[in-house]
Amino acid sequence: MRIIAGIAKGMPLVVPPGADTRPTSDRVREAVFSSLGERVVGVDVLDLFAGTGALGLETASRGARAVTFVETARTALQSLQRNIETFRKGRTISCDLSVVHDDVFVQLRKYASAGQKFSLIFADPPYGETAQTLLSDEHLAVVLAKDGLLVLESAKRDPLVPTSDWTAVREAVYGDTKVSFFARA
């Protein structure tokens, strides 16, 4: 695992041991960021279920203004912190990177209450019901900026039924991974 492009191109990413964290593969990230293009430059990004931080760090490497990582698992947080330290080392970066150790759903409620908005939200929850639960969460659409985009990873076998808050923009399958792009309705 590595950063694919930008100022940190080629930087290896530390992955926690075990099967609890399932980082987004280089192939999937390359396809996602090819679709996003310049949309990542100068925006505020929220990386939910951040794990290693691969998605958020990729956006930071490509010119995001700020990236907030939300993760609750301790082993993932340790890897995320190491990856951020490596990202910052020897580079002049203008991207503000912050880590929040909290439950994603609790944090979404806090951001919604505070009126905080993000132009780009990545979510790579554990496969199973979590992706649908997240997509149905009333606070998620509230924290996405009006012209923002949600990029949601799930297992290709997991059905996703968007609520009336969402408009499906694009969907692609890579092996067992489905990547769905949603805009606010």
Q: Are 47 and 77 in contact (CB under 8 A)?
A: no
pLDDT given at position 25: 76
pLDDT given at position 19: 56
Q: State the Cα–Cα distance between residues 33 and 13, nearest whole angstrom.
A: 17
pLDDT given at position 128: 81
pLDDT given at position 159: 86
Give every CB contact of residue 155 below 8 A, 6+ residues apart in sequence.
Answer: 127, 128, 131, 176, 177, 178
How, if at all, do strands 166-174 and 177-184 pair? antiparallel
Please state the pTM of the whole predicted model: 0.93
pLDDT given at position 20: 63
Q: Which residues of 86-116 are buried (b: 16+ CB within 10 A; e: fewer)?
A: bbeeeeeeebebebbeeebeebbbebbeeee
Quick check: helix, strand or coil at residue 100?
Answer: strand
pLDDT-flagged residues of the chain (< 70): 18-23
CB atoms within 10 A of CB 141: 22
Residue 85 tokens, joined: 């330290």
Q: Are 164 and 144 in contact (CB under 8 A)?
A: no
Q: Are 57 and 67 in contact (CB under 8 A)?
A: yes
Q: State the Cα–Cα distance between residues 108 and 9, nearest whole angstrom.
A: 30
How, if at all, do strands 44-48 and 118-123 pair? parallel
* Per-residue model confidence as pLDDT tens digits over 46-68: 999 999 999 999 999 999 999 99
CB atoms within 10 A of CB 157: 9
**Closest C-alpha to 125, from 27, 46, 42, 22:** 22
Q: Which CATH class is domain 26-184?
A: alpha beta
Quick check: helix, strand or coil at residue 178?
Answer: strand
